[in-house]
Amino acid sequence: MLYLVPTPIGNLADFTFRGISVLKEVDHILAEDTRQSSRLLRHYDITTACTSFHSHNEHRRLSTLIEEMTDGKTMALISDAGTPGISDPGFLLVRACIEADIPVVSLPGPSAFVTALVGSGLPCDRFYFEGFLPHKKGRATKWQKLSQCEETMIFYESPYRIVKFLNECIENCGPDRMICVAREISKIHEEYIRGSVSEVHADLSSRPSIKGEFVVVLAGASNSNI
Ligand code: SAM
């Protein structure tokens, strides 16, 4: 049996009761980064054995993990923060479990993109999740396609590239397209910066330093003046 367990994206109080009890009860926790997860596990007094499962070893570990779960071992997959599989490892393991007839239980819980989308004030009846844009190859072509996208779009971005992202957004979607940049969701310095792309760009680029984690929610081409 494999459980997919979302973990808090900042505020430890956002962990669900069910998430905590599953992590206490399974035989083994697979964590993207065991050191990163140890703070959360200690906070909730979770003493279950924990090993690493990340993008560099997921292919290698797959067959052993499937054998162990076939033999009856229960496992829970967690990522550093949020929902496993969303811009994080998970998909390969879930697919392998399904192919091996191992039950997969996906728990509801925190994910940065849903929280940002709902708080953005932009339409959330239909949306397109992009996650991280490719750094170089294919980025320009991707922007051309995205500029035509009718639905609200969601991106993950780092503090080092957020201003570059907004510059590209102005070039491809125009300065008046509405946008919301959600920074440090659920943490002490949480903020939602809303406005036209040029307004949000002016705000962020005037800051002496840009820190934290970012989700960008961009209005679709059909909602450009909402
Ligand atoms: N699996 C995670 C989820 O469900 O949201 C996403 C993992 S992805 C590797 C990490 C990115 O998510 C960060 O670079 C940032 O763009 C976004 N993110 C995670 N936590 C955040 C937070 N508290 N505030 C804003 N963005 C966050």
Please give the number of the atom of ligand 1 that sits closest to the Cα of 112: 5
125 and 195 part of one domain? yes
Residue in 153, 159, 213 with CA at minimum distance from that of residue 183: 213
Judgement on whether residues 92 and 57 belong to the same structural domain of the protein? yes
Is residue 19 exposed (0-12), middle (13-18) or buried (19+ Cβ within 10 Å)?
Answer: buried
For residue 40, what pLDDT is reported? 96
As a three-state string, the secondary structure of 34-89 is HHHHHHHHHHCCCCCCEEECCCCCHHHHHHHHHHHHHCCCCEEEECCCECCCCCCC
Share the mean pLDDT of the chain. Answer: 96
Provide the domain limits for residue 9: 2-106
pLDDT recorded at residue 224: 54
**Spacing, Cα 200 to ligand 1 middle (Å):** 20
Amino acid 219: pLDDT: 97
Which token pair is 131?
Answer: 């996650």
* Rounded (to 5) percent helix, strand, coil in the chain: 40, 20, 40
Tokens of 195: 């406005």
120 and 72 together in one domain: no
- Verify that 121 and 101 share a domain, yes or no: no
Q: How far is the CA of 184 from the centre of ligand 1 (A)?
A: 9
Give the residue from 106, 125, 160 where a domain finishes.
106
Q: Is the pLDDT of residue 83 over 60?
A: yes
Give the residue among 190, 50, 29, 57 at the shortest CA–CA distance from 119: 190
Q: How far lies 226's CA from each of 61, 116, 131, 176, 197, in Å? A: 47, 17, 23, 10, 13
Whether residues 98 and 126 share a domain: the answer is no
Band of pLDDT at residue 58, cut at 50, 70 and 90: confident
Cβ of residue 193 lying under 6 Å from some atom of ligand 1: no
DSSP reduced 3-state for 150: coil
Cβ–ligand 1 distance for 36 under 6 Å, the answer no
Q: Which two tokens stand for residue 215?
A: 């989700």
What does the longest C-alpha to C-alpha distance in the chain come to?
57
Q: Are residues 143 and 74 in the same domain?
A: no
**Centre of ligand 1 from the C-alpha of residue 209, in Å:** 20
The Cα–Cα gap between 120 and 36 comes to 28
| CATH code at position 50 | 3.40.1010.10
Whether 177 and 150 map to the same domain: the answer is: yes
Single out the residue in 73, 90, 106 at which a domain terminates: 106
Q: pLDDT category, 78, cuts 50, 70, 90? A: very high
Quote the ligand 1 centre to 37 CA distance (angstroms): 15
Chain length of the chain:
226
Atom of ligand 1 lying closest to residue 83 CA: 4
- List the CATH number of the domain containing 149: 3.30.950.10
Q: How far is the CA of 72 from the centre of ligand 1 (A)?
A: 33
Q: Whose CA is nearest to atom 7 of ligand 1?
A: 87
User: Structurally, how many domains does the chain consist of?
Assistant: 2
Give yes or no: residues 142 and 190 share one domain.
Answer: yes
Same domain, 97 and 159: no
Q: Tell me the CA–centroid distance for residue 99 and ligand 1, in Å.
A: 29
Burial class of 49 by CB neighbour count within 10 A (0 to 12, 13 to 18, 19+): exposed
- Percent of the chain whose pLDDT exceeds 90: 94
88 and 44 in a single domain? The answer is yes
Average pLDDT on 156-182 reads: 97
Of the three residues 106, 137, 172, the one that is the final residue of a domain is 106
Q: Is the pLDDT assigned to residue 138 strictly greater than 70? A: yes
Segment 172-219, tens digit of pLDDT: 999 999 999 999 999 999 999 999 999 999 999 999 999 999 999 999
Ligand 1, atom 16, lies closest to the CA of 156
Whether 223 shows a pLDDT value over 80: the answer reads no
Q: How much is the pTM? A: 0.96
Same domain, 72 and 153: no
Do 126 and 146 lie in one domain? The reply is yes
